[in-house]
Amino acid sequence: MFAPGMEKKRYLKYTCSMNVIVIGNGGREHAISWKLSQSPEIEKIVCVPGNGGSAKENKCKNVDFADCGYIKNNGTSPYVQIAKYENCEMAVIGPEEPLAAGLADEFIRAGIECVGASKAAAKLEASKDYAKSFMQKYGVECAASKSFTDEDEACEYVKMHGTPIVIKADGLAGGKGVIVAASEKDAIDAVHEIMKSDRLGNAGKKIVIEDYLEGIEVSVLSAVSVTKNCVEQNKAAIVPFLYARDHKRLLDGAKGPNTGGMGAVCPLDDVSAETMKLFDSNILEPTLRGIIEEGYEYCGFLFFGVMITKDGPKLLEYNVRLGDPETQAVLPLMDFDFFKMCRAITGGTLKDFNFCWKKGYQVAPVIVSGGYPEHYKTGKTVFIDENKTAKSGAKIFIAGAKIGSRACDKESALVTSGGRVLACSAFGKTFEEAYKNAYSAVDAVKFEGAFYRTDIGLPGAAESGKL
């Protein structure tokens, strides 16, 4: 059940003006920091380490471990030490790795409110084998699957089962641990690649093989507030945000290799009210019941990766954080104070929080470095025509770019530092308007080797299709 001592520090008195620490350096964390900065109750946002986008945001301050001479090797997390040094009263954790390592628990033990899943709850993402067991235990609609630690047994299962089939590394693999195999040879090659390759390390020692689901994917980002007090007061809740869609394939028409995400759109016109009702009853509600019954301390976010099939919605995976790049499309549509929502999550009042959304659409294509997701070069100067982006109304969320430090760069110049460089997120009262505005902003961004998809949000752009 619920960990002893975790609950008593959950309810703190908040000052009128607060400092918040945001953990992570991607586009998701830039979007979170940007949205937090809009709250009048926020004085300072400490981004660790942040990126070239958060460095320029109002109220935001990037902090790198290397610049923190006060950090001591005393058994306390460096993140916690920075938070205390900067007088932060709340933490928001973006990526999955620190959540799986138990960082949320460390913040709470230090008396700092934290929006982030506990280490125990983070197993829902950290182990796909565990997640599938959880789904089956609590009756969550999902694809049939089986787990293996022996390569030969896995290959025999593939031969017996037939293809298409999906091979997944059990552990965290940075979005590179899932292979959809159309043929028996592809499937067996995938088994060997994941389990033998050093590329995934321990994440690939165990694999999950599951049925291939044909349909169209939906990303359901949500807020979660489950504590002992919440359960006792019937206040435990998972509240879904507007439905969104990522486009995982590199090329137009959902072709090419899987990536970390080539763009997102929100909301979705192709998800019916009946489908949403089935999602609530067959996926969300049993998930909430399972979190409660397992006794997880869970105050944070939960991402449902869902496939809409001819037989209804089925859960593909849990992520115990906000999705990237979906966050860059969803958060701009929030017509409420994001920080107040975070307070509702940690304070046990999420069930009563008033969620209001802008009426319209958000389209957010991602611009990546040439060669992504395999081999790509970094250190390329990014040029952004601010007049063009202002005219489009788009917000540029930086992911893999930092403030340039080379002698040939201007002090404020951005240089690429990763594969997914940035997202151009734009609003429109209609999808067509949002699409036009987003790609107008894309045209304003230039760097050597820049590449992007041209069909984010269009029909057929994210369908799994027949194999």
Q: What is the CATH number of the domain that holds 341?
A: 3.30.470.20
Strand spans (E) along 11-110? 18-24, 42-49, 60-62, 90-93
Query: What is the pLDDT at residue 11?
Result: 44
Per-position b or e across 195-232, b if 16+ CB within 10 A of its CB = beeeebeebbebbbbbebbebbbbbbbbbbbbbbbbbe
Is position 249 within any domain? yes
Same domain (yes/no): 229, 343: yes
Task: Grade residue 467 by pLDDT with cuts at 50, 70 and 90.
Answer: low
Is position 123 within any domain? no
Is position 313 within any domain? yes
Same domain (yes/no): 261, 224: yes
Same domain (yes/no): 241, 329: yes
Q: Is the pLDDT of residue 9 over 50?
A: no
Same domain (yes/no): 60, 101: yes
Query: What is the pLDDT at residue 10?
Result: 45
Q: Which of 303, 332, 352 is the C-terminal boundary of a domain?
A: 352
Task: Give residue-wise pLDDT tens across range 71-83.
Answer: 999 999 999 999 9
Is position 137 within any domain? no
Query: What is the pLDDT at residue 407?
Result: 41
Query: What is the pLDDT at residue 111?
Result: 97
Supply the DSSP string of 157-170, one letter for each residue: HHHHH-SSEEEEES
Compute, in degrees rounded to 10, the torsion defined by CA atoms 73, 78, 84, 90. -150
Span of 22-31, 272-281, 402-411 with lowest mean pLDDT: 402-411
Mean pLDDT of 438-451: 98
Is position 251 within any domain? yes
Q: Which of 23, 122, 26, 27 is nearest to 65 (CA)?
A: 23
Is position 452 within any domain? no
Domain residues for the domain of 391 are: 361-446
Same domain (yes/no): 346, 380: no
% residues pLDDT > 90 (the chain)? 86
Mean pLDDT of 180-188: 92
Q: Is the pLDDT of residue 7 over 50?
A: no
Query: What is the pLDDT at residue 410?
Result: 47
Same domain (yes/no): 414, 346: no
pLDDT higher for 290 or 409? Answer: 290
Query: What is the pLDDT at residue 204?
Result: 83
Same domain (yes/no): 196, 242: no
Average pLDDT, the chain: 93
3-state helix, strand, coil in the chain (%, to 5): 30, 30, 40
Same domain (yes/no): 182, 230: no
8-state DSSP, 77: -
Task: Give residue-wise pLDDT tens across range 410-438.
Answer: 456 899 999 999 999 999 999 999 999 99
Task: Grade residue 173 by pLDDT with cuts at 50, 70 and 90.
Answer: confident
Query: What is the pLDDT at residue 178?
Result: 86
pTM over 0.95: no
Q: Please state the domain count of the chain.
A: 4
- The CATH number of the domain holding residue 27 is 3.40.50.20
Same domain (yes/no): 49, 174: no
Task: Give residue-wise pLDDT tens across range 112-159.
Answer: 999 999 999 999 999 999 999 999 999 999 999 999 999 999 999 999
Same domain (yes/no): 294, 396: no
Q: Which of 211, 234, 257 is the C-terminal boundary of a domain?
A: 211
Q: Which amino acid is at 107?
A: F
Query: What is the pLDDT at residue 257?
Result: 87
CA distances from 136 to 142, 157, 284 (A): 8, 20, 14
Is position 139 within any domain? no
Residue appearing with tokens 């435990």: 236
Task: Grade residue 362 by pLDDT with cuts at 50, 70 and 90.
Answer: very high
Where residue 305 falls (left for φ over 0; alpha for ψ -120 to 50; beta otherwise) is beta
Mean pLDDT of 296-322: 96
Q: Which of 297, 323, 352 is the C-terminal boundary of a domain?
A: 352
d(CA 115, CA 299): 6
Query: What is the pLDDT at residue 179?
Result: 87
What residues pair up with 209 in beta bridges, in sequence order?
146, 167
Same domain (yes/no): 255, 369: no
Is position 131 within any domain? no
Mean pLDDT of 270-298: 97
Backbone angles phi, psi at 190, to 5 degrees: -65, -40
Same domain (yes/no): 331, 280: yes
